Structure 1
Amino acid sequence: MENETIESNVFDVPDNGPFYHGTRANLQVGELLTPGFNSNYHPEVVMNHIYFTALPNGAGLAAALAKGDGHERVYIVELTDSFENDPNVTDKKFPGNPTRSYRSQAPLKIVGEVTDWVRITPEELQVWREKLAKLRADSNAKIIN
């Protein structure tokens, strides 16, 4: 399943995958990931999209940063409709989308799980958490001012 790809003409997509979603939720093959949940990075925000990547290590980073006490998990996901580049990453940080980060308003179907991605160290995770805390503080300061 790890080598399974989506045909590019199915939804006229910019990437053929395979695609991955990182989380701490314990999910099963066949379940759907849907928008409508609180953001891992801004808990006060309800997400209108479901986010995913074509890089298993990127999904692993998302799993490490995700809320919850469960184990970090990287799921292989299948598209159910069209998707777009993640503008939070591609427009603001990495023009051209080298991170291969995407989002969709349509559900993503879990078709498998990856267990061999490169996990970040506890020190790297702390650096990421500090960066996210600074981003939250900066955006909260902008809202207040």
Structure 2
Amino acid sequence: MDESSTHDPVTYGHCAHVRGPFFHGTKAVLEVGDQLVPGYGSNFQEGRVANNVYFTALLDTAVWGAELATAPAGSGERGRIYVVEPLGGFEDDPNVTDKRFPGNPTRSFRTRSPLRVVEEVHDWEGHAPEVLTAMLDGLARLREEGRDVIED
């Protein structure tokens, strides 16, 4: 059976069944107890304010978030990954769920409520440089074609 036929859609009114741990990958330096809230600049589109905070139940998806938040700057800076706790309801991330992938295999979610930082994950491994470059090139192509739409 594939993910799309077993996926139980996650909505604000139907999210209590989703279990963590949950992760957030970013370039932000945060402390335990800090809260991530919407209304700040997007890590993925220059000049865009994010109306949601995005998180995942998979460490690898958070690794992509951390890498894509830092790599475009070309500074070589390593992103950060935090274990987070949603403080309110959340839903499937519509930017990937059934749009780029059937179901939600990346276990990606978004919320308009705060996420509380529980701890930092220090021992994560990034993707190979050629894999990261391929992802960045693909995103650049989407941007050039006007298809880098973020539903926020």
TM-score (norm 1): 0.82
Output aligned runs, 1:1-145, within 5 Å: 12-67=15-70, 69=75, 70-139=77-146
What is the number of residues matched between the two proteins?
A: 132
Q: Report if the CA contact (8 A) 2:139-2:148 is conserved.
A: no
* More off after superposition, 79-88 vs 64-73: 64-73
Alignment RMSD:
2.1
Q: Report if the CA contact (8 A) 1:76-1:110 is conserved.
A: yes
CA separation in 1, counterparts of 2:139 and 2:27?
18
**Structure 2, unaligned runs of 5 or more:** 1-13
Secondary structure (helix, strand or coil) at the match of 2:96 reads helix
**Structure 1, unaligned runs of 5 or more:** 1-10
Q: Would you identify which runs of 4 or more consecutive aligned residues in structure 1 move more than 6 Å? A: none
Q: Quick one: percent identity of the two aligned structures?
A: 47
CA deviations 1:12-31 (Å, max 9, x no partner) are 43411110000121110000
CA separation in 2, counterparts of 1:138 and 1:122?
24
Task: Please identify which structure carries the higher helix content.
Answer: 1
CA deviations 1:55-107 (Å, max 9, x no partner) are 11110111011045543211000011000000000031112101100000011
In structure 2, what residue type is equivalent to 1:132? Answer: L
Q: Which residue of 1 aligns with 2:10?
A: none
Q: Report if the CA contact (8 A) 1:20-1:77 is conserved.
A: yes
Q: Report if the CA contact (8 A) 1:13-1:83 is conserved.
A: no
Q: Report if the CA contact (8 A) 2:142-2:148 is conserved.
A: no
CA separation in 1, counterparts of 2:108 and 2:129?
23
